[in-house]
Structure 1
Amino acid sequence: MLCAVAIGALVGFPAAPAGADVRVATADPGPVIVVGVAGLRWSDVSVTGTPVLASIVDGAAVGALSVRSAPAPPDVTCPGEGWLTLGAGGYAAIGGSAAAGCVRRMAPPVEVADHESSDGVPDGVSARVPDLPALYAVNAGLRFGARPGTLGDAVPCAVAVGSGAALAVADRHGMVDRYVPSLPDRPGRLFEGCPLTVVDLGSLPAGSGGRRQGLAAVERALGTIEASRPPGSTLLVLGVAGSVGDPAPRLHLAALTGPGVEPGWLVSPSTRRAPYLQLSDVAPTVLTLIGADLPAGLAGQPVRGGGPGRPDGVEATAAALVDLDRAAAAQRAAVTPFFAWYGALLLLMLGLYALIRRRGGAPGAAAGGAALLLAAVPAGTFLANLVPWWRAPYPPFAAWVATLVAAGVIAGVALAASTLGRRPARPGGAAASGPGGAVRPGRAALVVAVVTAGVLAWDAVTGATLQINSMLGYNPLVAGRFVGFGNLAFAVFATAALLAAGAAAGGLRRARPRAGIALVTTAGVVALTVDGAPAWGADFGGVLTLAPAFVVLGLLTAGAALRPGRLLVAGAAGVLTAVGIGLLDARRPVEQRSHFGRFVAGIGDGSAVATVQRKLDANLDLLFSGPHTIAALVLTGAASVWLLRTPAPLAALYVREPWLRPALVSAVAMAWIAFATNDSGVAIPIVAMLVAGPTVLAVHTLNRPGRA
């Protein structure tokens, strides 16, 4: 019943957030010119320093370009990989060790014969990238399965200017229709020879030393292109990759101008969040602009112009996009120290608790409050994004301060709410009501869990502005997700939702058991709707996980044993719910589908198998990325077993707080099902423990004998 109600609740939900329904450039096909500069970022744009580029930006649809390729951040996308990804329409790699840097991952050479037209103006000759068939084979064996040469195979004719451009427009056999090694002084006829011209303007230096001179050269080339491009042509300017020597990945410039392209933000159906787009979107965009058919297997989607919300003026637009880049870079730099400090605080808390217990003492109320604060930290990481911590002189410290302030407010509200109601009886008198009573640990935990789940539900429904670039959210540089629930946010949301439903149902379990079961069912439907709606959570793997977890919670709340047949029913509930949502989503137009619909549609053409294999590979890559992940898995598994075996320290607590064990069992079930079904693998049980562990410690510490 749970899955049927959840699927029914999702019927009619829009597939994309508000603002995504903007016009695509659909004018009569004219020549398309793509200009790529490795390392070109929005911080390079200014009216005085780059007037030609600023003029292009002023009348263009613009966006923040994620140049993610097959090597995952923190590796920088090298220029060769950027051009190869552009031509493949999917995350591609040159090969070689990512640790070796860009020197060993450069674009391969181009074989071309000398040629000059009769009037002295180069018009291009055919050329060959001899390494492309080998690159095709290399990428076929990678988990993303990119197919270099896809753009070249799909266009009827293309001109390449420079070696990077040749790599982008070569077909899968390495053949380039027309090629010139550098931009001629009079390129007008070159632009008219084919429907697509791709121009490689080289790479900007990573440091400040030669960057000004590099930008001046780009300005001169853009001026030549602007003066020479045919009427009715479309121009797309890209920061196609990182610069050689860049220490970390960054977001890059994208500007599209031409007939039918409305100024504003660029909107990509693949990211579903303006103004972000991906390098893999460029190939389908170009093919759409020239009126060619889109081949199967492209990872990206055609981008659209005219997205609302762009600031007026070039400087304001550039400043807004620089801020997005700064936030993404700051989050990448802050995540490692954040988890190091958070882990240290948790270990310190557990160590002090064990020491006090070993000496026969009992932790005081301060220890319980500290544990409650740690339980509220996951929610605090998202609320921290309400303030621009990334603009601070030292962003990691600012992120911690913002997180702790938000967590402190949540914990304070929880403690205050837990004292409302009955007061302890005065000597010789009846129990009083109102504020000031003893702390009720179960109620305090309920408030923290409700606030945590509520914050993430509200964020998902309103566009996930708190998840992007948060400590437990996602990052556009990684480009795994731009909207909905990321895997870590899902782990927080699901654990908190199960704890909240369990605690609330526990209060009804004895007096009105049916009401408790109804509450769990209602909470499950709400959680599945938020998590699974394509316009909200859009989380296929989360639905597979959350539905059986709520079935387990419902069974335990009803006092039923977890027999194998019932566990099979719980698993089937997740599969049926996810497939049902996917079937509904697959009925929408291709450009409006979330990955629910794309996966279900891919069952017919075989791409769903590749998706499953890619997620499995990502799961295993993360698990075996180092001894720290294996150790974390072992420790998390041991903690899960410890919680489920009802150890002596928790036996009495389970009697005083009967809701706690069903909630924990369902949360542990959720975490390990998610470990098996999501590409974040071991990270989900670890993050789930960051929510459940401090909650158990807070309830246990606050629930000392003599407290109401």
Structure 2
Amino acid sequence: MKLLRRLLASVRRGDRPDSAPPSRSPRRRAWVPYALVVLAALASLAGLSVRPPTGVPGDTADYVIVAGAAGLRWDDLDPKRTPALWQEATQGSIGWLSVRSAHHATCPADGWLTLGAGNYAVWNARRVSGKCPALAPVVEQPDGIGANLPEMARVVRANADNQPYGAVPGALSESVRCTVAVGPGAAVGAARPYGRVDRYAPALPDDPQGLFTQCPLSLVDLGSITATGTARQAQVALADSTLARVLAARPQQSLVVVAGVSDTDTSSRLHVAIAEGPGWRGGWLTSAGTGRDGYLQLVDLAPTVLTTIGRPAPEGLFSGRTASSVDGRPADLAGSVLGEHDADRRSAAQRGIAGMFFTGLAAVQVALFLLVVPLMIRARRHAGPTGPASAPRLMVRSVEVLLIAAALAIPAALLTDALPWWRTGRPGIVFALLTFAVVAAGTAAVRLAPRYPRTLWPMGVIAAGAAVVVGADLLTGARLQLNGVAGYSAVEGARYSGVGSVGLGVFVAGALLVAGCAAQWVRRPWRPVVVVLVGGFAVIMVGSPYLGADPVGAIAVTAGVCVAAAISTGGWLTFPRFAWATVAGLAVTIGFAVLDLRRPALEQGSVGRFLTALGDGTAGPAIQRAAAASGLALDSPLTFLAVGGALMLAFSQFSPWGGLNRVFGLHPALRAALAGTTVAVVLAGIFGGAAFAVAGAAAAVAVPVMVLTTMRVLEHAADRTRPDGETDGPGGPGLSARHTPAPDKSGASVR
């Protein structure tokens, strides 16, 4: 409380921090910033150690029947045309199924194989264009009881040698006593690694009574839904009639899982997931792998099956997590999954627009930076008698407005996702118009504010706005980022809840820039206090399982905050400062890892799972997956945003005309904020498998406002501070107090 009163009193008095007299006991207080860094690490660790309770899986059952239909979507269901499917969905727990496999397009064979592997697998790695090939595995029946898939040995070797996921096709069937397969797709899912299917029927018998009691696990292929229009309705109706016969023959104490196990062409979609049986009556399906009510992964089905029949999962082979049922689903089935809650339709619109949005933003920002360079050169005061004339004032003010708009683009896109633009006939045009309107309103609010002439005010308010938009979204369940243009898609299967790569970059840049601006308003010894308080809050927001749910990102942000706090008082990152920052970052990392490892395996986060795999020698696939994900993420407009922003900052700092060094001299806490942001986003991209996606999103917000601040400082580079009381004619002080405040001890000034 004493510290807080001092800070508030300093701000109320309007003290110029760097012009204040030095502390009488500097050595006595020299340890305070470093102690605060350690306290922030401990507070962050406490915030990250709390995890929400996981959902409770349904009751155990004696039998599980998995009925799969490739391509089955929620908009295929109708109470009259598909009564069996509709009744199962009404009585059971439901969700959206992401059918990601090891293939860029999950075709039926890939989907069934992934289901049987409990991991991301691929049947054939050949590239698919247009529609998926028909599901036609070679099925031999030498004894009339079971079957044999001669291609299975090749498929197992291909997944082991050419894929980074460590998938073993047939791991599910190897974990149970025996399996029953009906249809070719079910044979792919039920085959053991050497190709044997224990019980096999090419089609559902006319009288299937007793079929599903032969083994604890049965897989039934309901067919593939590939057509459109009335032909598609006929295919769905056929699948529904087959399911009705399965339900009529199901044994007592059985769980029926209905799943749209794959796509049928290259346009990835979200599919049907239904679980109906003891303990699965109503509610949303979810799992620890998604962390989002109503969303499930295809790889979650295998561990769910084994948990239901009381069998242990094979160690280190499954990537999915056991599904569970949670309350909160509306009673109206159509209102749960269709209309404004149609996640499949929204995700399809998001994927088509996200690439165009970020490509356009990258092009606009690069063009804007090219326009700013000559303005910086002309704004620089030259030592000679002649030099280039200053740029027209109207042009400079227009470029300032464009820089503000560019920095607000991603936060505006997040806010636009709160509106149902994706339900319109022209979603791309509507999204563009709405985003432009939000950007225009935000730009006007910043530009027309009375405090706009103050040097750091535009940067502070834009950064605060960006951080508030992402933070408010996290506090309300990250609904704007899920299937949002500036968020992440559930179809891609990388993330379903919490903060995404784009949101992380925007939030980190906004929070640390706000900390840097706010730190300029307090005395030099207390600047680390401001950085630590704001940064510690950001770490908890990112890492808390209730909010950002990104422990890797939280560790990266902790490192960035420690670096920013260490150099916020000015000077370089000396070895003692680096050592304290490293100790604090390691404290959070090690402490959180220890706490995560103490949890049950199914409740561990990404850090705990990785360390567990590292301990038992199975971490290779995880490292390969992260590297592969980073390689794929390089081919993104966010990479161009990151590279373009880095080049612009390099020009601003190292060229004779840039002026960024002058900004850092006037406002040393900004250099700390930029350094901390750089450390955080680079580490988050490397360890999170996002490459430059996090850095690109951060650059899209931070670089335009940093360039804007540089231009404003260059504009007043020739101003001089006058002694108190002196005036420069009737206009008042010769120095614009709004732009160039009192000098620092080093000759710089801070505002």
Alignment check: 8 A CA contact 2:151 2:195 kept: yes
Alignment check: 8 A CA contact 1:15 1:593 kept: no
Alignment check: 8 A CA contact 2:119 2:320 kept: yes
- Deviation string 1:357-393 (CA, Å, 9 cap, x unpaired) is 6674143333322211221222222222221221122
Matched, 1:649 2:682: no
Counterpart selection for 1:579 from 575, 579, 590: 590
Which deviates the most, 314-323 or 264-273?
Answer: 314-323
Structure-1 separation of matches of 2:136 and 2:531? 57
Counterpart selection for 1:250 from 257, 269, 272: 269
Q: 1:118: which partner in 2?
A: none
Given residue 487 of structure 1, which amino acid in structure 2 is its aligned partner?
S
Structure-2 separation of matches of 1:684 and 1:3? 26
- Deviation string 1:21-67 (CA, Å, 9 cap, x unpaired) is 5432124x222111000000000011122122111111010000000
Residue 701 (structure 1) shift:
4.3
Matched, 1:397 2:411: no
Counterpart selection for 2:125 from 86, 91, 96: 96
- Deviation string 1:83-128 (CA, Å, 9 cap, x unpaired) is 011011111112322345665695632221363xxxxxxxxx1211
Q: 2:204: which partner in 1?
A: 183
Residue 465 (structure 1) shift:
1.4
Residue 354 (structure 1) shift:
4.0
Matched, 1:37 2:69: yes
Alignment check: 8 A CA contact 1:376 1:408 kept: no
Structure-1 separation of matches of 2:512 and 2:48? 24
Q: 2:290: which partner in 1?
A: 271
SS at match of 1:11: helix
Structure-1 separation of matches of 2:502 and 2:543? 15
Q: 2:299: which partner in 1?
A: 280
SS at match of 1:597: helix
Q: 2:245: which partner in 1?
A: 224
Over 3 Å counting, the alpha-carbon distance change for 1:539 and 1:3 in structure 2 is farther
Structure-1 separation of matches of 2:643 and 2:471? 31
Structure-2 separation of matches of 1:406 and 1:253? 35
Structure-1 separation of matches of 2:223 and 2:81? 19
Alignment check: 8 A CA contact 2:645 2:700 kept: no
Matched, 1:25 2:20: no
- Deviation string 1:274-316 (CA, Å, 9 cap, x unpaired) is 10000000001111111111222211111112x2221223322
Tell me how many residue pairs correspond in the alignment.
667
Alignment check: 8 A CA contact 1:13 1:535 kept: no
Q: 1:677: which partner in 2?
A: 687
Counterpart selection for 2:235 from 214, 229, 235: 214
Over 3 Å counting, the alpha-carbon distance change for 1:385 and 1:110 in structure 2 is same
Structure-2 separation of matches of 1:578 and 1:143? 26
Gaps of 5+ in 2: 1-34, 379-388, 717-735, 740-751
Q: 1:430: which partner in 2?
A: none
- Deviation string 1:467-523 (CA, Å, 9 cap, x unpaired) is 212223111001111122222221111111221111111222xxx112212111112
Over 3 Å counting, the alpha-carbon distance change for 1:105 and 1:224 in structure 2 is closer
- Deviation string 1:508-551 (CA, Å, 9 cap, x unpaired) is 2xxx1122121111122111111222332222332332222222
- Deviation string 1:145-184 (CA, Å, 9 cap, x unpaired) is 2221110110111100112111111122221111111111
- TM-score between both structures, scaled by the size of structure 2: 0.83
Larger-Rg structure: 2
Q: 2:46: which partner in 1?
A: 11
Q: 2:514: which partner in 1?
A: 500
Structure-1 separation of matches of 2:51 and 2:562? 29
SS at match of 1:253: strand
Residue 129 (structure 1) shift:
1.6
Structure-1 separation of matches of 2:122 and 2:580? 43
Gaps of 5+ in 1: 116-124, 421-437
Counterpart selection for 1:130 from 129, 139, 150: 150
Residue 619 (structure 1) shift:
1.6
Counterpart selection for 2:187 from 158, 166, 171: 166
Counterpart selection for 2:550 from 517, 539, 546: 539
Residue 211 (structure 1) shift:
0.6
Q: 1:605: which partner in 2?
A: 616
Alignment check: 8 A CA contact 1:534 1:585 kept: no
- TM-score between both structures, scaled by the size of structure 1: 0.88
Q: 1:333: which partner in 2?
A: 352
Alignment check: 8 A CA contact 1:16 1:272 kept: no
Alignment check: 8 A CA contact 1:201 1:218 kept: yes
Matched, 1:82 2:91: no
Q: 2:490: which partner in 1?
A: 476
Structure-1 separation of matches of 2:79 and 2:375? 64
Alignment check: 8 A CA contact 1:80 1:106 kept: yes
Structure-2 separation of matches of 1:3 and 1:104? 58
Residue 697 (structure 1) shift:
2.7
Q: 2:19: which partner in 1?
A: none
- Deviation string 1:573-608 (CA, Å, 9 cap, x unpaired) is 434322322222333333333223323333332344
Structure-2 separation of matches of 1:504 and 1:592? 39
Structure-1 separation of matches of 2:298 and 2:652? 45
- Deviation string 1:412-463 (CA, Å, 9 cap, x unpaired) is 444455x24xxxxxxxxxxxxxxxxx62130121111122122222322332
Give the 5 Å matches for 1:191-590: 191-208=212-229, 210-243=231-264, 246-297=265-316, 298-305=318-325, 307-319=326-338, 323-354=342-373, 360-361=390-391, 362=393, 363-415=395-447, 419-420=450-451, 439-508=453-522, 512-563=523-574, 566-567=577-578, 569-571=580-582, 573-590=584-601
Counterpart selection for 2:141 from 112, 126, 130: 112
Alignment check: 8 A CA contact 1:3 1:547 kept: no
Superposition RMSD in Å: 2.7
